[in-house]
Structure 1
Amino acid sequence: MTHNIHDNISQWMKSNEETPIVMSSRIRLARNLENHVHPLMYATENDGFRVINEVQDALPNFELMRLDQMDQQSKMKMVAKHLISPELIKQPAAAVLVNDDESLSVMINEEDHIRIQAMGTDTTLQALYNQASSIDDELDRSLDISYDEQLGYLTTCPTNIGTGMRASVMLHLPGLSIMKRMTRIAQTINRFGYTIRGIYGEGSQVYGHTYQVSNQLTLGKSELEIIETLTEVVNQIIHEEKQIRQKLDTYNQLETQDRVFRSLGILQNCRMITMEEASYRLSEVKLGIDLNYIELQNFKFNELMVAIQTPFLLDEEDDKSVKEKRADILREHIK
């Protein structure tokens, strides 16, 4: 059976060449509505559905998907594509508005009434902010957004008060991970109000040496200041990753090549494999490609990391286990 993984990938992830370290960037804006209790305090589901209707009316050009009308597998697919958060699934009256290429989404009734997301692979944080801000302006024209002249945007969580903005960059950091430098880096940037998390944010697991670097606080700084400082932090992490890769290639080349080719052999020949192992094997193969140890046609790390997740492997009507289907996809696409 041929597996067309592109059917499971958001359009914005498909179109560009992958870079060695930066996987994607995201801007998220948290907003709340006046005269509505916060989502976690709704007395009934109807309170949430009223908010959904108001936000949908304000953004008529987006497609609305109500989570109460979706099965669990469909919801988990949307989590895998970063269109919604795992927390949104837990809400009884939740929805998401999505544009055509799925680069823009608006979660409704997560922790806040509204969470605007703009995502891209080769787009600057400033450009993504401009896209998210445009949606924010559109909402502001027809909705009464909670705002305080001194504090800024009012949010459920105190750490989001102010700009209500979370800027984040997804990085592939196998060198720093292999050399066990990530704890030190996390401690260092934490002192400046920035944090490193797993690919799905706070509390999520790290897969395939990929990390999300983002700001923690939004009060007392402008959007531009947050973006500029995060960019500096990310550039420093990228610099350190490049240095480590150079050292691995210069002083530990045989061990690094052995690691890469072992992972390549497993991915090309496995018959069963877990998500965790597959992600780390893919990471090491990508490292080998970036260091010019191997050349693979059409190897797409970002796309494969999405396509091998469990929700996308439950569609096929056969008796194979998820681990078997994952192995089939990897053998088919890594040649």
Structure 2
Amino acid sequence: MSQPSLESVVRSAGEWLRGVGPQHEIVISTRIRLARNITGFPFHSRASDEQRSEIAETLSTALGRCGLPGEWLHIDIEKLDDLDRLLLVERHLISKSLAEANGARRVVFERSEACSVMINEEDHLRLQVLRSGLQLDEAWEQINAMDDALDAQVEYAFHPQFGYLTACPTNVGTGIRVSVMLHLPALRLTGELEKVLQAARDMKLAVRGLFGEGTEALGDFFQVSNQVTLGRSETELLDSFRTDVLPRIVEFEQSARKALLRSRPQALDDKIWRAVGMLRNARMMSSNEALQCLSHVRMGLHIGRPLRIDLQTINELFLQTQPAHLQKLQGERLSGEQRSVARAALTRARLGSNQN
């Protein structure tokens, strides 16, 4: 099977930034992952190079026989250069650990990027479904169907008492990780963000940055997910997110936005319009600066400020201003300073500069 090109994915926003779905102004996306291993092989960390290659071939073949709907791309991570690997990380199709690892490893994803499968990450398999906005039930229905289809092709490592066996003990049981990407700029501006995030941690939830474990919360994006799967069913976890976790965080952010509009409208507008000015006029801009400005503009659009900017353009720029996307769009590798210049030129071109 030939290695498909990644050029076609660079210019689109991807599923997680489509900007649609329930409560999408705060809940950017819903993601559900399932960790699975197959019988007859040791865990990835204990497998030999030959065994990892056999696992990759076995699972790639099985996925091809599943008959899953849509057009699926099979990518051999080992054959990609570092820029293409980073591109897949930026699009939330693979983890940083899979990108930086060695040996046989792959990702298989549907053209829309709503469904993907990582092979030979921490576990033999990581199935993922991403949906824009708050779509817990839809994501679960989709990934459950994927899981059933693959289960018919391979034998999962399963224990009658402990459930699905995984490399990390926290994933043993259902192997499910429910995660939502949240945009919380108002909570940061009101100084209430840490209080809300600490409340999430007190509920035994993990709080991570834009690109997952070990990353910063760039652009006021936060990923909130469950930490433990053993002893709780998939339905219980989904119900907890639906009734306990998300309503509280969304309500806090909505209240913070209303408080800013009521008590500090000029300060709020100053943040938003300064961001617009930076994006339309800056000559150099770092990734962090771009994400922060785009975050403020996104909030401005959702609270009804007349910015004359299309939300889809903002969503696309969240990705296209990232290092790998930017260099792929430019068609060449760039130094840090060159990327800052190119990033500013891109935002001026997309949003309309006041001067050339």
Cα distance in structure 1, aligned partners of 2:11 and 2:229: 34
Q: Deviations over 1:1-44 (max 9, x none)?
A: xxx9984335535755483211111100000111211111222x
Does residue 238 in structure 1 map to residue 250 in structure 2?
yes
Corresponding residue for residue 249 of structure 1: 261
Q: Secondary structure at the match of 1:29?
A: strand
Corresponding residue for residue 314 of structure 1: 327
Which among 278, 297, 308 is matched to residue 266 of structure 1? 278
Corresponding residue for residue 28 of structure 1: 33
Does residue 73 in structure 1 map to residue 79 in structure 2?
no
Cα distance in structure 2, aligned partners of 1:334 and 1:26: 30
Q: Secondary structure at the match of 2:219?
A: coil
Corresponding residue for residue 341 of structure 2: 324
Corresponding residue for residue 317 of structure 2: 304
Are 1:296 and 1:334, in contact at CA under 8 Å, matched by a contact in 2?
Answer: no
Are 2:32 and 2:130, in contact at CA under 8 Å, matched by a contact in 1?
Answer: yes
Which among 205, 230, 233 is matched to residue 222 of structure 1? 233
When the two structures are superposed, what TM-score results if normalisation uses the length of structure 2? 0.88
Does residue 49 in structure 1 map to residue 62 in structure 2?
no
Q: Deviations over 1:283-309 (max 9, x none)?
A: 111222222223323233332111110
Cα distance in structure 2, aligned partners of 1:268 and 1:210: 22
Deviation for aligned residue 1:181: 2.1
The residue type equivalent to 2:315 in the other structure is N
Q: 1:82 to 1:112 in 2, by over 3 A?
A: same
- Give 1:98-113 correspondences, 5 Å limit: 98-113=109-124
Gap regions ≥5 residues in structure 2 = 1-6
Which among 273, 277, 289 is matched to residue 289 of structure 2? 277
Are 2:19 and 2:311, in contact at CA under 8 Å, matched by a contact in 1?
Answer: no
Corresponding residue for residue 97 of structure 1: 108
Q: Secondary structure at the match of 1:166?
A: strand
Cα distance in structure 1, aligned partners of 2:195 and 2:17: 33
Does residue 84 in structure 1 map to residue 119 in structure 2?
no
Gap regions ≥5 residues in structure 1 = none
Does residue 37 in structure 1 map to residue 42 in structure 2?
yes
Considering only aligned residues, what root-mean-square deviation do their CA atoms show, in Å?
A: 2.0
Greater Cα shift, 289-298 or 211-220: 289-298
Does residue 152 in structure 1 map to residue 155 in structure 2?
no
The residue type equivalent to 2:311 in the other structure is F
Q: 1:86 to 1:194 in 2, by over 3 A?
A: same
Percent identical pairs in the alignment equals 31
Q: Secondary structure at the match of 2:218?
A: coil
Cα distance in structure 2, aligned partners of 1:83 and 1:221: 27
Corresponding residue for residue 204 of structure 1: 215
Q: 1:293 to 1:6 in 2, by over 3 A?
A: farther
Corresponding residue for residue 4 of structure 2: none
Cα distance in structure 2, aligned partners of 1:127 and 1:292: 29
Q: 1:5 to 1:279 in 2, by over 3 A?
A: farther
